Amino acid sequence: MKKVTIAEVAKRANYSSGTVSAVINAKNSVKPATRDHILKVMKELNFRPKGVARNLKKATQDKSIGIIIKDLNYPFYASIATGAREYANSKGYSVIVASSESDHEREKELSHLFSEKDIKGAIIAPTVEGRAEIEHLFQLRMINYPFVLLEDVKGIQANVVAIDNSKAIKRAVTYLIDSGHTKIVHFAGPPNSSHTQERIEGFRHAFSESTLAFHKDMIVSIGSNYDESFAKTLEYFKSRSRENYPTAIVCFNDLQALAVLTALKELKLCVPEDISVIGNDDIYYAKIYPVPLTTIRAPQHEIGKRAAEILIENIESATVLPPKRVVLDTEFIIRESSKVLKH
Amino acid sequence: MKKVTIAEVAKRANYSSGTVSAVINAKNSVKPATRDHILKVMKELNFRPKGVARNLKKATQDKSIGIIIKDLNYPFYASIATGAREYANSKGYSVIVASSESDHEREKELSHLFSEKDIKGAIIAPTVEGRAEIEHLFQLRMINYPFVLLEDVKGIQANVVAIDNSKAIKRAVTYLIDSGHTKIVHFAGPPNSSHTQERIEGFRHAFSESTLAFHKDMIVSIGSNYDESFAKTLEYFKSRSRENYPTAIVCFNDLQALAVLTALKELKLCVPEDISVIGNDDIYYAKIYPVPLTTIRAPQHEIGKRAAEILIENIESATVLPPKRVVLDTEFIIRESSKVLKH
DNA sequence: GAAAAGAAATGAACTGATTCAATTTCCCGG
DNA sequence: CCGGGAAATTGAATCAGTTCATTTCTTTTC
């Protein structure tokens, strides 16, 4: 199945390529009868003019940026994308989004796709599996392709807009300790995520600055998707006696926290009376939930906006700019899923 | 600021364009010293090879499709996109997503963007504002650009994968009527959406087949975003006496239904004891909610999958295929937010 | 140190559209 | 039926890279 070109259409229709081009571009210099005839031939041959070739000569260059997120369905990323989109749109850029599904290979493919399609730059939530596989980032850098990462990646100095996960969790845990909780556990995320590591670190750090001792049993791996977290929560509580229940759970993220809340309800445990639950991210649905979730708010909108800002600055710069690193503050939001035990 | 071309890099580096090209493409026929030198010049000039030109000659054509949804943050669309992505990926296609924000102009821009970038085809959730502005679809059709719509659009016969909104709502309302509800209202969506109209139609239809009379006060316009729906629900109940409260509310979509549930809680009205609430779509969060939502499930995953299937079939066809129209069934899911009044 | 082999670099042809000055066709008034 | 201006059409140049047969430069070998 060979590609049909404009030349073939022209030959078949007995007109020149210029006229066919005029038809495609809806120029009004073409006689209606000619136009109809050429359109008919185009349809017969299923002629699809190659966008790549069309744009080569075209004067007007479109402006567009891409975002590679890890999960289309997790509202956290959708909000970041929206923040980026709003800023980019205000600067005249279109925005397209793609999901890597936390798959390093797919991330690589997508970043190639973006650069090959002349998407002017990319915001990337990077997935680094095992040892740092970051050739694709160096590849982008080689062709001076502007990009901004949403997490630090070891081994490359690049534009980064991120939050301090460790500090954020530490703050929440310190709050729990200060409010009299002693039996605190962390329901941790997927082991291969750098976020998981940072959050565990923050958890430990809070203990090291308190009078309480950290114990590794306090870290419970509980998966990242809802169903898995729900099941593992049930399992966790069923496998221990009531006096060994924690009084507070710090979750990896809000979706997981919602799963925990639902599981606790099924176990007839009350939140926050029996157990305090703290989430992370402050996704849209965290505050909609009937027991509004105490959580650590990542400024999703702002993250997207700042990333887009830096990206566009790089795109429009005539020279290669030095990498920028922005760490945004999180906000600890106390709602109704946590309670103070003593003062 | 003129575009830096490979020729300039070549001249400045004292090598030929072929060698520079070899460097860009990481061919190993270049002497390391040469390579380093050319890379340095590339960086100095901030040379960004134009993807468009690179791809013109390249043998391997990438495979990719695009999806234009209306809202990145509404899980309904994210699920459709995911369904499409999974199928497309299995066929070797990359998928990119863009949001039109229900803005017809943006939809038009994005569809142009896709075709110009040689994204091989598009799935489009169309926004038709006021009179049918569908030139951009005809534009796509003219260049035989494959696309699939997620709603019927008047005035054009195209590939469509959709659900029967009217029928779906009718079913829910008939259920309510059969379970003894007499005071039923419909909290309708944004007036300019075809979905809103179809759902109102289904609501009326259920009444016309029952012994109950329809009255236009049963249709309450309540916006589409959460905050607006929440506020308007409060307002609705505060502006009438208790004996005029409905016993059942059929909502435009699930997000709205969640807003209604939250508002009712604030009003100290119990669901489903005092009032039954029915949603629409069955978004992910509908079942996570502590009062699991009775709703009408649109097979989001399936919609995306079928759309991608038809799209790819068209992309890979040597001839122009006749339009296909697929209407998928919805499923009425009774959970805990609704109750039967009598039998 | 010359010949052969291998490595590195060249540059013109090529990709598939658009563009636009030049040419041909059409149409209308005299 | 002719002339001239407008309308329609032509086709070669152009866009910015890749490709690859050919040439030039290095090594290696005896």
The tens digit of pLDDT for each residue in A209-233 reads 999 999 999 999 998 789 999 999 9
Distances (CA, A) of A4 to A10, A42, A152, B65: 11, 9, 46, 20
pLDDT category at A191 given cuts 50, 70, 90 is confident
Contact A68, A124 (CB under 8 A): yes
- Residue that has been written with the tokens 């700019």 in this structure: A321
pLDDT score of B131? 62
Distance from C-alpha of A312 to C-alpha of A319, rounded to nearest angstrom: 13
Which of B266-275's residues contact partners 24+ apart within 8 Å by CB, and which partners? B266/B234, B267/B234, B267/B237, B267/B238, B269/B237, B269/B245, B271/B337, B272/B336, B272/B337, B272/B338, B272/B339, B273/B339, B274/B245, B274/B247, B275/B245, B275/B246, B275/B247, B275/B248, B275/B249
**pLDDT above 90: residue A194:** no
- Considering CB atoms only, which of B48, B265, B317 is closest to A144? B48
**Distance between A256 CA and the closest CA of chain B, angstroms:** 11
Distance from C-alpha of B144 to C-alpha of B320, rounded to nearest angstrom: 7
Distance from C-alpha of A325 to C-alpha of A32, rounded to nearest angstrom: 58
Chain B hits for A24, Cβ within 8 Å: 142-143
Distances (CA, A) of A332 to A179, A251, A284, B42: 14, 14, 15, 46
Q: Which B residues, 57 through 86, put their C-beta within 8 Å of a C-beta on chain A?
A: 62, 64, 66, 72-73, 75, 78-79, 81-82, 85
Reference A161, options A153, A169, A171, A172; nearest CA is A153
A98 touches chain B (CB under 8 A): yes
| Range 10-69, chain B: CB under 7 Å to any strand D atom | 17-18, 20-22, 24-25, 47, 49-50, 52-54, 56-59
Count other Cβ atoms within 10 Å, centred on residue A217.
Answer: 8
A138 touches chain B (CB under 8 A): no
Distance from C-alpha of A41 to C-alpha of A30, rounded to nearest angstrom: 15
Do strands B147-149 and B121-124 pair parallel, antiparallel, or not at all (unpaired)? parallel
Q: What percent of chain A has pLDDT over 70?
A: 98
Contact B312, B148 (CB under 8 A): no
Intervals of chain B under pLDDT 70: 1, 130-132, 343
Chain B hits for A47, Cβ within 8 Å: 143-144
- Considering CB atoms only, which of B24, B52, B226 is closest to A288? B226
When scoring A1, A35, A46, A52 by the number of chain B Cβ atoms within 10 A, the one with the most, hence best to mutate, is A52
**pLDDT above 80: residue A102:** yes
Inter-chain touch A72–B97, beta carbons under 8 Å: yes
At A75-87, the pLDDT tens digits run 999 999 999 999 9
**What pairs with residue A297 in β-bridges?**
A281, A331
Q: φ and ψ at A113, to 5 degrees?
A: -55, -50
Q: Is the CB of B180 under 7 A from strand D?
A: no
Distance from C-alpha of B238 to C-alpha of B217, rounded to nearest angstrom: 16
Inter-chain touch B143–A49, beta carbons under 8 Å: yes
Inter-chain touch A262–B288, beta carbons under 8 Å: yes
Q: Which A residues, 220 through 239, put their C-beta within 8 Å of a C-beta on chain B?
A: 226
Looking at the C1' of nucleotide C18, which residue has the nearest alpha carbon? A57
Instruction: Look up the pTM and report it.
Output: 0.94
Q: Which A residues, 9 through 48, put their C-beta within 8 Å of a C-beta on chain B?
A: 24, 26, 39, 42-43, 46-48
Q: How far is the CA of A18 from the C1' of C21 (A)?
A: 13
Inter-chain touch B116–A54, beta carbons under 8 Å: yes
Q: How far is the CA of B257 from the C1' of D9 (A)?
A: 61
A311 touches chain B (CB under 8 A): no
Q: How far is the CA of A120 from the C1' of C18 (A)?
A: 22
DSSP secondary structure, A212-281, as one string: SPP-GGGEEE--SSHHHHHHHHHHHHHTS-GGG--SEEEESSHHHHHHHHHHHHHTT--TTTT-EEE-SB
B238-248 burial, b at 16+ Cβ within 10 Å, e below that, comes to eeeeeeebbbb
**pLDDT above 60: residue A1:** no
Distance from C-alpha of B101 to C-alpha of B105, rounded to nearest angstrom: 10
pLDDT category at A333 given cuts 50, 70, 90 is very high
Tell me how far the alpha carbon of residue A12 is from its chain's centroid.
49
B109 touches chain A (CB under 8 A): yes
pLDDT score of A341? 84
pLDDT score of A131? 62
Inter-chain touch A116–B51, beta carbons under 8 Å: yes
**pLDDT above 80: residue A322:** yes
User: % helix / strand / coil in chain B, to the nearest 5?
Assistant: 45, 15, 40
Count other Cβ atoms within 10 Å, centred on residue B92.
Answer: 10
pLDDT score of B83? 98
Mean predicted confidence (pLDDT) in A290-315:
96
Q: Which residue of A has its CA nearest to B73?
A: A78
pLDDT score of A117? 94
Strand C CB shell (< 7 Å):
A 3-7, 17-18, 20-22, 24-25, 49-50, 53-54, 56-59; B 14-19, 21-22, 28-31, 33-34, 56-57
Tokens of B209: 């087949």
